[in-house]
Amino acid sequence: MLRELRREAYEANVALPRHGLITLTFGNASAIDRARGIFAIKPSGIDYEDLTPTLMVLVDLEGRIVEGKLNPSSDMPTHRRLYRGFKKVGGIVHTHSIHATAFAQAGRSIPVLGTTHADYFNGEVPVTRKLTEAEIGSAYEWETGSVLVERLLVEDLNPLECPGALVNRHAPFAWAATAADAVEAAVAIECIARLAILSLELAPRLKTLEPALQEKHFRRKHGANAYYGQKPVRGG
């Protein structure tokens, strides 16, 4: 099972440059085995082309390295904080993708301007508050996770309906039930951010999407009454 966990984290990590979400070694992905309380994460500073499943570092939810010869990503405490805060999340992705990071650096959430956004997020892509000097000077990476968890809790947002957020002055984090789905959420955030920038250039006074259309597009892909895609075939 731990071999499969490493493989899941590896596949998520190598998907990031394939989707154009990575510059140099900025970013990382992880996957968790909830039953064991162990997650696999990218080792720190290793080029994506050099990654293998066996290089993934296994860490428990107390931050102890369980298996692995390399140091885990410097963002490991952020992943750990998110796994502890979002109990139904099974995978986490962090990138510095250009357009989403631009919103993060500007301290702006990404507004719902069209149906592409509404297909993935039940509302805006939120941005956190700035970290305080005390938070930056103490357990910085852990506190980065804390402001993400805080941001969703403040508005009672479901992490599976809001599968990502922007850390103010930093960059986006995405999460989902699986690491593969977290990669898809990270791709969606970057696409949404780019569309928002282009849309606001064309129409600076553009208002957010009408609530009925927003709700329709989100619910047709998510929830008990979703009808997008194919239903799994049962039986032989």
Residue 132 forms part of a structural domain: yes
Among residues 186, 134, 150, 144, the alpha carbon closest in space to that of 18 is found at: 186
d(CA 91, CA 166): 17
Residue 100 forms part of a structural domain: yes
Residue 231 forms part of a structural domain: no
One of 47, 60, 156, 228 is an active-site residue; which one?
Answer: 228
One of 48, 83, 119, 181 is an active-site residue; which one?
Answer: 119
Residue 224 forms part of a structural domain: no
Residue 235 forms part of a structural domain: no
Residue 198 forms part of a structural domain: yes
| Total Cβ atoms within 10 A of residue 136 | 12
Whether 60 is catalytic? no
Structural domain count of the chain: 1
d(CA 214, CA 148): 24
Q: Which domain holds residue 173?
A: 2-219
Residue 228 forms part of a structural domain: no
Whether 228 is catalytic? yes
The phi-psi region of residue 65 (left if phi > 0; otherwise alpha if psi is between -120 and 50; otherwise beta) is beta
Residue 173 forms part of a structural domain: yes
pLDDT per residue rounded down to tens, the chain (236 residues): 789 999 999 999 999 999 999 998 899 999 999 999 999 999 999 999 999 999 999 999 999 999 999 999 999 999 999 999 999 999 999 999 999 999 999 999 999 999 999 999 999 999 999 999 999 999 999 999 999 999 999 999 999 999 999 999 999 999 999 999 999 999 999 999 999 999 999 999 999 999 999 999 988 888 777 777 777 666 54
Give the orientation angle of helix 98-106 with respect to helix 179-202, to 10 degrees: 70
Q: What does the block give as tokens for 188? A: 């969606």
pTM flag (> 0.85)? yes
CATH code where residue 35 lies = 3.40.225.10
